[in-house]
Amino acid sequence: SFFKTVKQRSDILIRIAEVLEQSMNDMAAIAIIEAGKSWQDAIDEVREAIDFLRYYATVASDNLKLIQLNKIS
């Protein structure tokens, strides 16, 4: 189902961060090819994306536990 609990959504963000981290060189290479980034800038971009994913996963877990998301009918 599209609608997930906060924990499930947080876990998804963490998993995406893990995949990005495992694929850092490939992701950096894409940034170099697609955006003309330098190697260091590309690595920094991937690391920043990983940091954002982990940050928002933590914020969701810590702050949104009690909020009930309503289904759209």
52-65: b (≥16 Cβ within 10 Å) or e = ebbeebeebbeeee
Ordered per-residue pLDDT tens for the chain, 73 residues: 566 778 888 899 999 999 999 999 999 999 999 999 999 999 999 999 999 999 999 987 777 665 555 555 4
27-36: b (≥16 Cβ within 10 Å) or e = bbeebbeeee
- Angstrom CA distances, 4 to 7, 51, 58, 69, stand at 8, 22, 16, 9
pLDDT for residue 68: 54
User: Whole-model pTM?
Assistant: 0.78
Helix (H) or strand (E) holding 48: helix 39-63
